[in-house]
A = this chain, B = another copy of it.
Amino acid sequence: MAARHEEIAQELRQAIDRGEYPVGGTLPTETELSARYGVSRGTVRQAVAALTTEGRIGSRQGARRVVLGNRRSQSFAELRSFAQWAHAMGRTATGRVLDQHRRPATLEDAEKLQIKPGDEVLQVLRVRGLDGEPVLLERNVYAAWMADSVERLPADCISVVQALYEDIGMIFAYGEHVIDAVAAGAEDARLLEVRRGSPLLRIRRVTTTPAGRPIEWSDDRYISGTVSFTVANSIGSNPLARQAGQA
């Protein structure tokens, strides 16, 4: 957080959370913020642009910016790492590897990881919980160049993302997520201790390095009622997209 515009964005976020700028009210003008923080208008605009994409404030030409909400959106690390997210929520995360083996890449693996079919991949099945209760079933497929590092992790590793960062400096930089709902299959039900057919929230994602190289893809299934996802959008930018289901 060295950049000045990030500092300002953070201060504005906190001010909104404190109620200094109430929901439905307006933010100070760019000129006033420039003077207050002693920066140029461009720097202020970078800061408020961040809050806008987060959905905290709305922006229209000619009118002051409006505070839309004070919901706190977790950081990327918290989003991508179940353990760090749980920690931020004041909950205790658990995790256990149930199965782990190497196999040749299927066509699906090859497409998602940008490798050739038949190349070796590492498949991992994990169950994760909050405060001892199972919450999430995670099926991961890692590219071969990651496999060694993942296999070295202990079976009860809490935070895979953090462990890989400390171990080999691996950073998970980008992710694409597809969200839908499915019924629990036989294996899902047994491992998550729910009835077959129970609704599960499914998130399928592909993660890449900062250089754009795919690291892994994953199929996460959350027990209904344990976790929800929040997304904000505006007429100017919509990170979220609805797609017809081809299951």
Contacts and interface: CB of A to CB of B under 8 A. Distances in A.
B79 A240 contact: yes
Interface string A81-119: 000010001010000000000000000000000100000
A225 B245 contact: yes
Nearest to A239: B239
A210 B236 CA distance: 11
Interface in A144-178: 171-178
A30 to B, nearest CB: 16
A206 to B, nearest CB: 8
A229 B244 contact: no
A230 B240 contact: yes
Contact of A225 (B89, B201, B226, B247): B247
Nearest to A63: B211
Nearest to A171: B235
Contacts of A31: none
A203 B232 CA distance: 12
Nearest to A50: B237
Given A173-B58, A199-B199, A227 B245 contact: yes
Q: Chain copies in the assembly?
A: 2
Given A226-B245, A227-B242, A232 B200 contact: no
Interface string A43-86: 00000001001110010100100111101111110110000010
B53 A174 contact: no
Contacts of A243: 227-230
A10 interface: no
A8 to B, nearest CB: 16
11 contacts: A53-B53, A58-B174, A58-B208, A58-B211, A76-B234, A76-B237, A175-B233, A225-B247, A227-B245, A231-B241, A233-B239
Interface of A: 23-24, 50, 53-55, 58, 60, 63, 66-69, 71-76, 78-79, 85, 89, 91, 114, 130, 171-183, 197-202, 208, 210-213, 222, 224-245, 247
